[in-house]
Amino acid sequence: MNVIKEKFENLKSKSGSHSPSINSILKEIPEIQIEVDACFLSNPYATQLFLDYFKNDLIKTGKIDRVLEFYPSQNNVIAKSISKSIGIDAKNIFVCNGAIEGIQAVIHNLLHGKLSIPIPTFSSYYEYCHKNIEAIYYNLKKEEDYALNLKNYSAFIKENKINNAVIINPNNPNGSYISSEDLKEFLEEHRDLDAIILDESFIHFAYENSSMRLKSMQNSISDYKNLFIVKSMSKDFGIAGLRCGYLLMNEEYVSQFLRNGYLWNVNGIAEYFFTLYGNEKFLKEYEDCRKKYIMETLFFVNQLTELKNINVLPSKANFVLVELIDGRTSDEVSAKLLVDHGIYVRNCSDKIGLDGQYLRIAARSFDENQKIFRALAQL
Amino acid sequence: MNVIKEKFENLKSKSGSHSPSINSILKEIPEIQIEVDACFLSNPYATQLFLDYFKNDLIKTGKIDRVLEFYPSQNNVIAKSISKSIGIDAKNIFVCNGAIEGIQAVIHNLLHGKLSIPIPTFSSYYEYCHKNIEAIYYNLKKEEDYALNLKNYSAFIKENKINNAVIINPNNPNGSYISSEDLKEFLEEHRDLDAIILDESFIHFAYENSSMRLKSMQNSISDYKNLFIVKSMSKDFGIAGLRCGYLLMNEEYVSQFLRNGYLWNVNGIAEYFFTLYGNEKFLKEYEDCRKKYIMETLFFVNQLTELKNINVLPSKANFVLVELIDGRTSDEVSAKLLVDHGIYVRNCSDKIGLDGQYLRIAARSFDENQKIFRALAQL
């Protein structure tokens, strides 16, 4: 066990502030048996739906050969498929090789001055800051369960003469959610900011009432020239291996990016996914997967709150941040879960801005959730 | 026919200075029947080899599911597979989502001042120049078949106080080749340049003697801190849809890139390709495909030189630049080939630096080459 732990720590140290992927772990430490990857924030039912289409449309027909052999379409052609799905003009859509490419493009090329970042959060937002852009941390408070209080954040932005602001909704790693109404108010109040980066990568798992209708601020793109909406497809559609994402932004920025780069940044299978994303039948079936997964996640989170050795923070994402309150460390518990139970969770010991011992646990399929629950109950 | 031509012209105008991909054409103009895509610079035998492995390793075993669902490995993990294949330290390898991502990364982030670019060439080299970097054209001469004379290029670089230089070997669109000996001399003479970008995307099709041994300047990376070698995988391995490429460069630049970005820029299937690229058995079989394709290309080019209405420029790549010398325009002939014969060639009317009417014709499989030859003979 100690050898495996050591190898794992070694691999983790090489992955920077991100967890090593399950594929990296299996490659580098083949003796590890991972039964449940609860580090990975992804809807497994959506994965299955995509795989069914992929096999029927590309494998059975032999069309896969052309998809792998030939160049995919250029960025602006793929934007049209996305436009069909979300009803936003293709001119406002910057198609990305994973949302992270878009985050990098905006931070490296468009921003200047100060970028306020509520922490704890997804580390790339501050790690990608360099040269002309300075990351300014806004500390979320433990006593508020690390939820973002927009009024206080607004005051912080004004006091510190911030030029650009990040909001992740729901936030990662804690899953706290801000309503569209509050966000509108914030956008209206901060028209003078150069950029507001609103990351909606987990928005498909959030809801405001029992209809569970999909929420997004995407229609505000035409009203706010400084608004950038980041959308990953990896989580909601369960297809991280494809590298699909997009950013919505003012059309001037899109054409600025495409004038000097990002020509064939989407691969053939990702292009195929985006045609499904514009396909009504697929989207209807996806909607069922989305709601089923939300309801099972809700059930799982309710189960976790019964456990006495952990404190489960309120979340409207597909994961929960869990504080260990029995004196054990997250290093210890995450290694135990991995080696004894084959359950891989996100050890948050490296997350800047967290005060305490935390694990981030993703909801998976119903049966996998039960395995996680039983392992945590045994601790 | 005129409607199709109009639609095609319209699609082409939207693709900037690149030809629309065959997938884009089939999507936007479904009435076109493309029988041979001789615009596409790719070894079809290598495609078939990759597809055989892909189907055996990923489809039949069901492993494809994990490859599409989970995050691929990070950049530095994939660099190790490449290192295994080419024997260059992984620290010098920057893995890219297609070589073009690496070209963009270097031009946008590392270069300052003047970048000399021999033209005609692959247009992204000048299109990606912006802000701190100015493209300076070095005109290749028609009377020298657009081959790059390194002595004259050296003089030009000195006279014009150039900071960075591009060399594509073999060059695109004409296929002219510079020997490793001459390149070494050039590198030695220009140690004072900030950067020498040597694009070897077509090097697998070149050879210096009848052994047809693979040539590359990759081992010079350790001797020249200012050398950047660009390597696309799309052409030699016939897998443009995967988006695979890499750059070799001084390790300081690699770590600079990875410190602030390019985290998960390679998709799951591209990662799988790179494991094959480090696999001895695959590489041996590939070597046979490479030599077979070179020999068939040679046969095809010899056939083309028999035709009297065209002038075939000398090439050591997998394509030839062909000048129309019977008064017809490249617009006219390329449209005729497409609509009457289903043969798609690269109309070079938009290539800056060409003086005359030119088509670029890629070698494909033996049978496809014969179709192209017969169509051209009929003109």
Of A40, A69, A267, the CB nearest to B267: A267
Tell me: do A211 and A358 sit in the same domain. no
Distance linking the first and last C-alpha atoms of chain B? 17
Half-sphere exposure of B36 (CA within 13 A, CB side): 23
Tell me: do A182 and A206 sit in the same domain. yes
**Overall average pLDDT of the B206-220 stretch:** 93
Interface ipTM: 0.93
- Which residues in B lie closer than 8 A to residue A104 (C-beta atoms)? 260-262
Shortest Cα distance from B307 to chain A (angstroms)? 29
User: B375 or B12, which is more confident?
Assistant: B375
- Which residues in A lie closer than 8 A to residue B69 (C-beta atoms)? 42, 44, 47, 51, 238-241
Distance linking the first and last C-alpha atoms of chain A? 17
Let me know if A85 is exposed, middle or buried by CB neighbors in 10 A (0-12, 13-18, 19+): middle
Tell me: do A237 and A138 sit in the same domain. yes
Query: Does B238 sit within 8 Å of A69, measured CB to CB?
Result: yes
Tell me: do B12 and B158 sit in the same domain. no
Residue-wise over A189-220: b if at least 16 C-beta within 10 A, else e? ebeebbbbbbbbbbbbbbbeeeebeebbbbeb
Tell me: do B115 and B43 sit in the same domain. no
Please report, for the domain that includes residue B299, its CATH number: 3.90.1150.10
Residue-wise over A21-59: b if at least 16 C-beta within 10 A, else e? bbbbbbbbbeebebebbbbbbbbbbbbebbbebbeeebe
Asked whether residue B55 is assigned to any structural domain, the reply reads no
Number of domains in chain A: 2
Distance of CA B34 to the CA centre of its chain: 22
> Of the candidates A279, A294, A316, which is a domain's last residue?
A279
Tell me: do A201 and A311 sit in the same domain. no
Tell me: do A128 and A234 sit in the same domain. yes
Q: How many angstroms separate the CA atoms of A339 and A360, rounded?
A: 17
**Overall average pLDDT of the B266-280 stretch:** 97
Tell me what pLDDT residue A11 has: 79
Tell me what pLDDT residue B207 has: 93
| H or E element, residue A36 | strand A36-37
Asked whether residue B216 is assigned to any structural domain, the reply reads yes
In 3-state terms chain B splits into helix, strand, coil percentages (rounded to 5) of 45, 15, 35
Token look-up 């040597």 returns: B198
Please report, for the domain that includes residue A94, its CATH number: 3.40.640.10
Is the confidence at residue B372, as pLDDT, over 90? yes
Task: Domain of residue A297: give its range.
Answer: 2-49+283-378
**Overall average pLDDT of the B36-60 stretch:** 97
Tell me: do B258 and B292 sit in the same domain. no
Asked whether residue A55 is assigned to any structural domain, the reply reads no
Phi then psi dihedrals of residue B17, to 5 deg: -95, 20
**Overall average pLDDT of the B310-337 stretch:** 95
Tell me: do B110 and B193 sit in the same domain. yes
Name the stretches of chain A with pLDDT < 70.
1
> Of the candidates B244, B262, B279, which is a domain's last residue?
B279
User: Which pLDDT band holds residue B117 (cuts at 50, 70, 90)?
Assistant: very high
| Most A-contacting residue of B71, B77, B233, B234 (CB-CB within 10 A), to test interface | B71
Q: What pTM was computed for the model?
A: 0.94
Is the confidence at residue B187, as pLDDT, over 70? yes
Distances in Å between the Cα of A68 and the Cα atoms of A64, A83, A170, A267, B244 are: 6, 24, 35, 8, 11
Tell me what pLDDT residue B4 has: 77
DSSP 3-state assignment of B270?
helix
Of B314, B364, B320, B319, whose CA–CA distance to B343 is shortest?
Answer: B364
Asked whether residue A241 is assigned to any structural domain, the reply reads yes
Asked whether residue B123 is assigned to any structural domain, the reply reads yes
In sign, the C-alpha dihedral spanning A263, A268, A271, A275 is: positive
- For residue B223, what are the contacts with CB-CB under 8 A and spacing of at least 6? B187
Of B28, B71, B241, the CB nearest to A70: B241
Shortest Cα distance from A178 to chain B (angstroms)? 28
Within chain B, what is the greatest distance between any pair of CA atoms?
A: 60
User: Which pLDDT band holds residue B197 (cuts at 50, 70, 90)?
Assistant: very high
Tell me what pLDDT residue B1 has: 57
Tell me: do A300 and A274 sit in the same domain. no
How is residue A177 annotated by DSSP? Answer: -
Shortest Cα distance from B260 to chain A (angstroms)? 4
Is the confidence at residue B179, as pLDDT, over 70? yes
Asked whether residue A224 is assigned to any structural domain, the reply reads yes
Of A66, A262, A269, the CB nearest to B23: A66
Of B28, B74, B267, the CB nearest to A241: B267
| Most A-contacting residue of B51, B69, B101, B242 (CB-CB within 10 A), to test interface | B69
Query: Does A265 sit within 8 Å of B267, measured CB to CB?
Result: no
Q: Following CA atoms B58, B59, B61, B67 in sequence, which dihedral angle do they give, to the nearest 10 degrees?
A: 40
Predicted confidence (pLDDT) per residue in B65-75, tens digit: 999 999 999 99
| Closest chain B residue to the Cα of A105, Cα to Cα | B261
Query: Does B262 sit within 8 Å of A77, measured CB to CB?
Result: no
| H or E element, residue A358 | strand A358-362
Tell me: do B256 and B313 sit in the same domain. no
| Most A-contacting residue of B67, B266, B267, B365 (CB-CB within 10 A), to test interface | B267
Asked whether residue B60 is assigned to any structural domain, the reply reads no
Is the confidence at residue B212, as pLDDT, over 60? yes
Asked whether residue A61 is assigned to any structural domain, the reply reads no
Tell me what pLDDT residue A263 has: 87
Tell me: do B267 and B169 sit in the same domain. yes
> Of the candidates B261, B279, B297, which is a domain's last residue?
B279
Specify the amino acid at residue A297: T
